[in-house]
Amino acid sequence: MSPSEAEGGGVSAQNKGSWTAFLKSIASFSGDLSSLTAPPFILSSTSLVEFSSYWAEHPNVFVAPAHEKDPQKRALLVLKWFLATLKSQYASRSDKFGNEKKPLNPFLGELFLGKWVDSAGTTELVSEQVSHHPPVTAYRISNKEHGVYLEGYNAQKASFSKTINVRQIGHALLTIPAYKETYLITLPNLHIEGLIFGAPFVELNDKTYITSSSGYTAKIDYSGRGWLSGKKNSFTATMYPTGKEKETLYSVNGQWTKTFEIGEGSSKHGKTVDMYDAEALAPTPLAIAPIEEQDPMESRRAWSKVAAGIAVGDMDTTGIEKTKIEVSQRELRQNEKTEGRTWERKYFKLVEDDYALSTLGPTIGVLPEADKTGGIWRFDEAKAKAAEAKRAIRTEV
C-alpha cells in the first residue's frame, strides 16, 4: 500500500487504469499546462483565474507595511506578508486527501472579481485572463483606505523530468504610495510531488526575491522534505541592504504551511523579533457577487455548468459544456480576425517597458520575458473605472 493510500488518499481501484495512462502521457510532456489532459477524477471546478485571490486572504497582513514608519521594518513586513501568502497559494486547494487537482484553463477575457471586507476595511480584487496563447493571468489587489496596492501577472511553463516541473514567468509589484515605495516580487518555481501515489501536491523550488525601491532585498530559499531529512515546505529567508548580501539584517526560518520565526541578523540564534503561525489565522472569505448578478465573462458564472458536471462526476455534461465555451471562444477569435481587431482587455493594458521593472529588475536578475507572457501587463485605472461604471449600471437594472 502506498503512503497516501494508508492515509486515505491515493487512487481508487476504479481509477488506477486512467491514472497509469496519465502518468505515461506526462512523461513526454512539456509546454503549456493548459494542454495537460488529466483524468476526470482529478479535475477541479476552480479556474486558474481565481488563484490571484491567494495574494490577500489575510488583508491585515497585506496592509500592515503601510503602518510602519521605519523603511527597514516596513520591508520586513512586506517579506512577512509574502511568506504568509504561500500557504494559500500552494497548499490550500487540496481535497480531503490533500490532493492537488487540475484547475480549469481560463478563457481569454475571463474575470474573477471580489472583495474582502474585514477589520482592514475593503480590499478589492480584479483578476483577468489577459492572454490565452500563452495563458497569462493579470491581477490587481487594492486597499485604498490603507494605501497598499499589488499588481502582477503570471504564466507557467511545464516540463517533465521525474515529475511535473513548473516554471513561473511574471512578477508582482507591491506599492505603498504614501512612502513612494515599490517592491518587485519574483514567483517560485515548483514541482508536483506524490504523482506516483496518485496524491499530487506542490513543493516549491529554488529561490525567489523581493527587492524594494527603498534599498532592501529579501532572498527566500525553498526546500522540501527531501529523501533523507528536512521538513515539508521549509524555507530560509534573509533580508539585506540591496547589493550587500553578507550584511544580513533579518533571517526567517520555518515552514510556510506551519510556523516561522523572524530573527535579527544572520543566525537562527539572533533575537526573535516576530513569529507567524500559518495555521492560526483563518483566511478572510472573499465576497463575490451572486452568480445571476455576475457578468457573463465572470469565472463562476461562465463555468457554472462545467462545475456542476464536475461536482457530480458527470463527465458527459462536463465535456459538452466545456466544448460550448471553447466553440464560442473560437468564434469570437474568428470574428476579431475578420474584423481586424483584437480582444479588448477590461482592466489591463500592455506597456512597452516599465520603470519599476527596469530599475529594480536587474538587481535580482528579473528580465521582462515579454515574449513568454504576450507582453508586459499593467493595471489600467481608466479602463477599470469604465468597467466598474458598466458593472454598476448592470447590477442596478
| List of residues contacting ligand HC3 (CB under 6 A) | 33, 38, 42, 48, 51, 54, 89-90, 100-103, 154, 156, 164, 166, 168, 192, 200, 202
Give me the least distance between CB of 357 and ligand HC3, in Å please: 18
Of 108, 110, 99, 96, nearest to 133 by C-alpha is 108
Q: Is 254 exposed, middle or buried (0-12, 13-18, 19+ CB in 10 A)?
A: buried
Confirm if 255 and 234 have CB atoms less than 8 A apart: yes
Give me the least distance between CB of 64 and ligand HC3, in Å please: 21
Q: Which is nearer to ligand HC3, 102 or 372 (CB)?
A: 102
Using alpha carbons, list the distances in angstroms from residue 178 to 139, 175, 181: 22, 9, 8
Q: Which is nearer to ligand HC3, 137 or 214 (CB)?
A: 137
> Which H or E run includes 331?
helix 315-339
Confirm if 120 and 63 have CB atoms less than 8 A apart: yes
Q: Which is nearer to ligand HC3, 200 or 375 (CB)?
A: 200
Give me the least distance between CB of 103 and ligand HC3, in Å please: 6
- Residue positions counted in the chain: 397
Q: Which three cell numbers stand for residue 92?
A: 490550500
- If one counts every other C-beta atom within 10 angstroms of the C-beta of residue 222, the result is 21
Give me the least distance between CB of 168 and ligand HC3, in Å please: 5
Question: DSSP secondary-structure letter at 364?
Answer: G
Residues 6+ apart with CB under 8 A from 165: 158, 159, 189, 190, 191, 205
Give me the least distance between CB of 183 and ligand HC3, in Å please: 17
Give me the least distance between CB of 303 and ligand HC3, in Å please: 16
Q: Which is nearer to ligand HC3, 166 or 289 (CB)?
A: 166
Strands 259-264 and 376-379: unpaired
Q: Which is nearer to ligand HC3, 11 or 76 (CB)?
A: 11
Q: Which is nearer to ligand HC3, 48 or 262 (CB)?
A: 48
Whole-number Å distance between alpha carbons of 261 and 252: 6
Q: Which is nearer to ligand HC3, 200 or 224 (CB)?
A: 200
Question: DSSP secondary-structure letter at 182?
Answer: E
Q: Which three cell numbers stand for residue 63?
A: 496592509
Taking each helix axis as running N to C, give the angle between helix 304-311 and helix 315-339, from 0 to 180 degrees, rounded to the nearest 10: 160
Give me the least distance between CB of 110 and ligand HC3, in Å please: 14
Give me the least distance between CB of 352 and ligand HC3, in Å please: 25
> Which H or E run includes 317?
helix 315-339
Q: Which is nearer to ligand HC3, 24 or 180 (CB)?
A: 24
Give me the least distance between CB of 69 and ligand HC3, in Å please: 31
Strands 259-264 and 272-277: antiparallel
Whole-number Å distance between alpha carbons of 85 and 96: 21
Q: Which is nearer to ligand HC3, 238 or 373 (CB)?
A: 373
